[in-house]
Structure 1
Amino acid sequence: MGLPGSDVRVGPAERDTLPASTAAAVKVVVVGGFGVGKTTLVKAVSEIRPLTTEETMTEASVGVDDVAGVETKTQTTVAMDFGRISLNEELVLYLFGTPGQERFWFLWKGLFEGALGAVVLIDTRRLEVSFDVLGRLEDEGVPFIVAVNRFPDAPRHPLAAIRSALDLPDPVPIVECDARDRGSSRDTLMALMRYLYTLTAAPTAATQER
């Protein structure tokens, strides 16, 4: 509907409305340490205009945020990122990207509520920033997969070696990802959904065997 005497439309854009065929909407969180590419992934894959809460980094963050390895980073998420992607005609994912700095982790609790699962983005140049993130997810009981974001200048290691370095349990999937690429980011989300399906199907199979 337009305003009288105006071509301006009121209400959501057509691309922002859910398809009539949508049968299920699922909340997924994208987590990781500071500067691993969470905002980039949400922006790349979202089919709607993403909501971001990036702010310019100032001198106030000096000595507080660890920028080792990401010295050229000039902006940072201070609350959350939000996007949406339809994986098929019936299934829609709502994506919530978390801030990476530890001083904003108090926001994670609320972002985790109602989440079906999580993607943990990691940077092989700074694996150590992922340890506390993985521990936090395990404490919250949120199922997750690990996605290795392939930065152009990042060292390449076999996924088995990265799994060992992270002390990642064998059942948890680990995949490669280019957070800048929509197709790659979508494949990562599909990997999470397949993993979540195996978790829900496993108890059913165990019950049938009894």
Structure 2
Amino acid sequence: MASANSDRYLPDSVRQLAKILIVGGFGVGKTTLIGSVSEIEPLRTEETMTAASVGVDDLTHLADKRATTVALDFGRITVTPTLALYLFGAPGQHRFWDAWEGLAHGAVGALALIDTRRLDDSFAVLDQLERYASLPFAVAVNRFPDSRHHPGGELRAALDLPPHTPLLTCDARDRGSALATLIALVQHVAALTPTHL
């Protein structure tokens, strides 16, 4: 991550700003992805998980998780000399999904992160995202160290994704991988709605 002072302000060459919504289930890596690419210190609204989440939040494959996003994550990345993305990460737990509508307002596209170890959690996320019919989106499989590889065709069928919806893979911890995923989303949005980008 760049120092807070050097990249606080947008470069003078930036002419276009685009809002991107990052969604996904609980613990899929939304906060991690935004933190890995953001050129500014990311805004995080994480709170320590307490005993109140026992029996509510499924910690399968998330034994080390100690905090969770309760409102949003925010970051910024300049992807070309003229285009910067504002990244808004939505909370993953279903009880916070009312916030998605406000976060989606003004977004040109969305990235849905999924964890194949907990694929069932992805169905409700994609259903929720499809409520915003005019919002183009891509799906990215966040590769965890203990994730099994699934062929793209099988995964696309399991998720019931339309052929035009990009299905990507990434490592949310890796800046280059996360950035490549965001660029693929931007290219998808530009192809569908060229006036937005």
Query: What range describes the TM-score normalised by the shorter chain of this pair?
Result: over 0.9
Is 1:82 paired with 2:45? no
**Counterpart in 2 of 1:149?**
142
Task: Find the aligned partners of 1:47 and 1:75 in 2 and give their Cα distance.
Answer: 23
Listed one character per residue, the Cα deviations across residues 163-191 of structure 1 (whole Å, up to 9, x for unaligned) are 11100111000011000000000000011
Is the 1:84–1:93 Cα contact (8 Å) retained in structure 2?
yes
Percentage identity across aligned positions?
57
Moved more, 153-162 or 64-73: 64-73
Q: List structure 1 runs of 4+ shifted beyond 6 angstroms.
A: none
SS at match of 2:131: helix
In 2: Cα distance, 1:153 partner to 1:181 partner? 16
Equivalent position amino acid for 2:21 in 1: V
Q: Which residue of 2 aligns with 1:7?
A: none
CA deviations over 1:23-52 (Å, ceiling 9, x no partner): 000000110000000000000000111111
- After the TM superposition, which of the residue ranges 100-109 and 59-68 deviates more from structure 2? 59-68
| Correspondences of 1:1-150 after superposition (within 5 Å) | 13-141=5-133, 142-150=135-143
**Residue type of the alignment partner of 1:149:** N
Distance in 1 separating the partners of 2:5 and 2:17: 19
Task: Decide which structure has greater helix share.
Answer: 1
Higher strand proportion: 2
Where does structure 2 lack aligned partners over 5 or more consecutive residues? none
Task: Output the amino acid matched with 1:187.
Answer: A
Q: Which amino acid aligns with 2:67?
A: Q
Asked if 1:188 is matched to 2:181, the reply is yes
1:72, distance to aligned residue in structure 2 (A) = 2.4
Residue-pair matches, total:
190
Whole-angstrom CA distance in 2 between matches of 1:118 and 1:150: 19
Determine the structure 2 residue equivalent to 1:159: 152
TM-score, length of structure 1 as denominator length: 0.88
Deviation at 1:15, TM superposition (A): 1.4
